[in-house]
Amino acid sequence: MGASENPIGPMPRCTTFPSATELHSAKSTHRLNQIDRVRASGIGDHIPLPQLVVCGDQSSGKSSVLQGITGIPFPRKDGLCTRFATEIILRHDSTKEQVCATVIPHDSRSEIEKQDICRYRRELHDFEQLPIVIEEAIKLMQLRGAEGVNKGPSFSADILRIEVVGKTGLHLTIVDLPGLISVSNDEQTEEDVEIVSDLVNTYLESSRTIILAVVQANNDIANQGIIQRARKFDPQGQRTVGIITKPDLINHGTEGRIAALARNEDTTKLKLGFFLLKNPSPLDLDTGLGADERRRRELAFFAASPWKEQHLDPGRVGADALSAFLQNLLDAHIERELPKVRREVEALLAQTEQDLEAMGQERSNVGHLRMFLTSFSMKFMGLTQAALDGNYLELERDLSTKDDLLDVSYRLRAQSHILNGGFSENLRLHGQKRSFIGKHAQPMKDEKNIGSKQAEFDSWIREVYTRTRGRELPGNYNHLLLAELFQELSSPWESIARKHVGEVNDLVQRFVSKVLDKIVSEESVRAELHQYVSDELERRAQEAEKELGKILADERREPMTYNHYYTDNIQKSRQCSMRNSVQATMKDVISKDWGGVVHLTNTEYDRNELLDSLGKRVVVDMDAQACEEARVGLEAYYKVARKTFADNVCRQVVERHILSKLPHIFSPTVVIGFSDEDLVRVASEPQIRKERRQRLAKLAQGLGESLRGLRK
């Protein structure tokens, strides 16, 4: 409102005080306004901003100091001005006069609370309305003691902002903090003590805060809480200004000690030095002491004995000197810190926008939910297909970290080859219940007592031969013999195959879990998809088990093969057996009938004599002959069947039911088939996530506006 419409009355500072040289340039005003707008947008909760903060112990005279600096007559009634931070903005403007009060909610407030608090705005006709504003702020913040509020905190992290525009003579922003409580009492609990302490610490710990430490001259300076706290956060005293109050209450004769402190010559030294102020007396306040009269009385007090003998620096005495100093200090401080603030706003904005992008689009209806899941299903399908195809470059681009190569667990095809190869080798080494050890078989290198093992193997074949004999003639064997021999010999196959299928299922489960963890950042959605995919994998695993059961059942049937490898092996075994038999018989004939030396001529007589000698020593055991034939057939068939079984398990079980269908367990087609209930259950956005999205969006908006303002 304009001054002509609603005159405010006396401005905080008298109109005769400011001169042209004391008023700051348009640039300074612009800088201050930039920071104020950033603070008003709530960015100060995320990025420390350059600011002047008045703090001190309770009853240290803070209110008088603030009135001396700003000209605002803060009410002295207990509990009104000490329960939250108060931000005072002074802007000199000779064309209008306006006083406006608003409340800035702390970032910890809920969105609903923030909206309610931000709606508060009151324009003051005069400063006599200030107590009303403070009472309204207390009620708005729901502090204990407000109307209808008997519980809860007495202090708040929200900020009351009072903006004064007019002939103030200053361009200044200053924050008043609640006074530090030394001891709890009936009205101020231990919790209140901690809340105030934490609130003050929050402001003081920022390296961009200029600390205006108010100390009482009539108390030991070194022991006052604000000095101790300032030393904690500003150990070198580089951003602390000491303000000494109540010099009229010290004992007579101690003026020299206070003067030394004011000259920064005492043991407590600050780089920015001290200022000495005289507070108005209670009588002065009751009589409505004006700003001009206060200024006159303050200067007269220090110009009289015993203070005039202390050789005080006039630039360090009185509220006017302090105001001028703070004006220049804040201007230089903002000019120095503003580029850093701008860079931090840019960095936080980039991070916030990145976080928002990572959250994806808002999902407010079923269509959004379906699109949301479809995007994940496309990623999942593409990555799993690439893993099956061995396209590891694509996987590395999407799944590997910046500094690490693609995790081996993502190389699904390579890992499945390793498992399949291990399965085949395991079958070769451990798939037979008994080892082939005979005249024509290759015994294991580490096998001992080969003869004993051979006899044991032959005995087993003869035993099975005996119990499977049918109506076949001697020297022949029943077709059931080979079936029983093979089934017992290959009995370890089932456990080996089931173990292999289980290992492949585990491999796929780990792969799918890692892919979902990579592509789905939202925990609740990821958990639902994990459950869905796990159920699908379990169903595929059951199908694989059924397929394996069919293959195992086929192996329990009578042997069957059309593989020429079987007949080739039979022929080779028979030739080998015949050769070995002839060699053994020849050795015996030559040794016994020919005196160890044989000399054959190409005559019919010699040939007939040799054949007669061989014939006498060839004794055919028809049962042994049948067992040997069965043995040869078993060995040849086992090799063919083992290789076929390994291929069938890898192709028909692992590939058909587990690997090849993997990209389709969560594909866009699957998402299209989801019911609305499924979509809501899997992809709906939790309330806490909605609130986080709103906070990020609001923060991004505030940061964007702040950055645009800071760049002007």
Q: For the segment 590-606, what is each residue's pLDDT rounded down to a tens digit? A: 666 666 666 656 567 66
479 and 558 in contact (C-beta within 8 Å)? yes
Quick one: pLDDT at residue 605? Answer: 63
Give the mean model confidence (pLDDT) for residues 369-393: 90
706 and 345 in contact (C-beta within 8 Å)? yes
HSE toward the beta carbon, residue 313, CA cutoff 13 A:
13
CA-based R_g, the chain, Å: 48
Quick one: pLDDT at residue 474? Answer: 62
47 and 111 in contact (C-beta within 8 Å)? no
Quick one: pLDDT at residue 15? Answer: 36
Residue 614 banded pLDDT, cuts 50, 70, 90: low
Give the mean model confidence (pLDDT) for residues 142-171: 85
Alpha helices (H) in 360-449, listed in sequence order: 366-389, 392-399, 412-430
* Contacts (Cβ under 8 Å, ≥6 apart) of 116: 140
CA distance 160 to 170: 20
Give the mean model confidence (pLDDT) for residues 668-677: 92
Check whether 709 has a pLDDT greater than 80. Answer: yes
Percent of the chain with pLDDT over 70: 81
pLDDT digits (tens, 9 = 90+) for 240-261: 999 999 999 888 888 999 999 9
Residue 377 banded pLDDT, cuts 50, 70, 90: very high
Position 15, amino acid: T
Terminal-residue alpha carbon distance, the chain: 26
pLDDT digits (tens, 9 = 90+) for 17-56: 333 334 445 677 788 888 888 887 878 878 888 889 999 9
Residue 104, beta-bridge partner list:
159
CA distance 150 to 166: 39
CA distance 698 to 692: 10
Q: What backbone torsions phi and psi does residue 258 show, to the nearest 5 degrees?
A: -70, -40
193 and 159 in contact (C-beta within 8 Å)? no
Is 12 or 336 the better-scoring residue by pLDDT? 336
Helix (H, G, I), strand (E, B) or coil at 156: coil
DSSP 8-class letter at 379: H
Helices then strands, counting H and E runs in the chain, come out as 23, 9
159 and 84 in contact (C-beta within 8 Å)? yes
Position 433, amino acid: K
What six digits make up the tokens of 413? Answer: 């095809």
Quick one: pLDDT at residue 471? Answer: 63
DSSP 8-class letter at 154: S
Give me the chain's average pLDDT, please. 82
315 and 321 in contact (C-beta within 8 Å)? yes
Which of 150, 123, 125, 126 shows the shortest CA–CA distance to 136? Answer: 123
E strand intervals along 381-530: none
Residue 122 banded pLDDT, cuts 50, 70, 90: very high
Give the mean model confidence (pLDDT) for residues 674-682: 91
Give the highest mean pLDDT range of 310-319, 591-600, 685-694: 310-319
Check whether 264 has a pLDDT greater than 70. Answer: yes
What six digits make up the tokens of 325? Answer: 């100093």
Residue 22, beta-bridge partner list:
none
Q: What dihedral do alpha carbons 147, 153, 154, 156 form, nearest 10°?
A: -100
Quick one: pLDDT at residue 253? Answer: 87
pLDDT digits (tens, 9 = 90+) for 338-375: 899 999 999 999 999 999 988 878 888 899 999 999 99
The single residue listed with the structure tokens 């080996």 is 496
Check whether 166 has a pLDDT greater than 90. Answer: no
pLDDT digits (tens, 9 = 90+) for 442-501: 444 555 555 556 666 766 777 776 777 666 656 556 667 777 777 888 889 999 999 999
Quick one: pLDDT at residue 23? Answer: 40
Quick one: pLDDT at residue 14? Answer: 39
Quick one: pLDDT at residue 438? Answer: 47
CA distance 492 to 457: 17
Domains and CATH numbers, the chain: 27-33+47-342 (3.40.50.300), 368-674 (no CATH)
Quick one: pLDDT at residue 247? Answer: 93
CA distance 692 to 236: 40
Is 190 or 571 the better-scoring residue by pLDDT? 190
Alpha helices (H) in 593-621, listed in sequence order: 604-617
Quick one: pLDDT at residue 17? Answer: 37
* Contacts (Cβ under 8 Å, ≥6 apart) of 295: 318, 319, 320
What six digits make up the tokens of 138? Answer: 């207390």
pLDDT digits (tens, 9 = 90+) for 182-238: 777 777 788 888 889 999 999 999 989 999 999 999 888 877 889 889 999 999 888
Which of 167, 271, 203, 215 shows the shortest CA–CA distance to 59? Answer: 215
Quick one: pLDDT at residue 69? Answer: 87
pLDDT digits (tens, 9 = 90+) for 81-120: 468 999 998 888 888 889 999 999 888 888 889 889 999 9
Give the mean model confidence (pLDDT) for residues 325-349: 90
Helix (H, G, I), strand (E, B) or coil at 243: strand
What six digits make up the tokens of 30? Answer: 């612009």
Check whether 647 has a pLDDT greater than 80. Answer: yes
The reported pTM is 0.61
Position 162, amino acid: I
Give the mean model confidence (pLDDT) for residues 511-528: 89
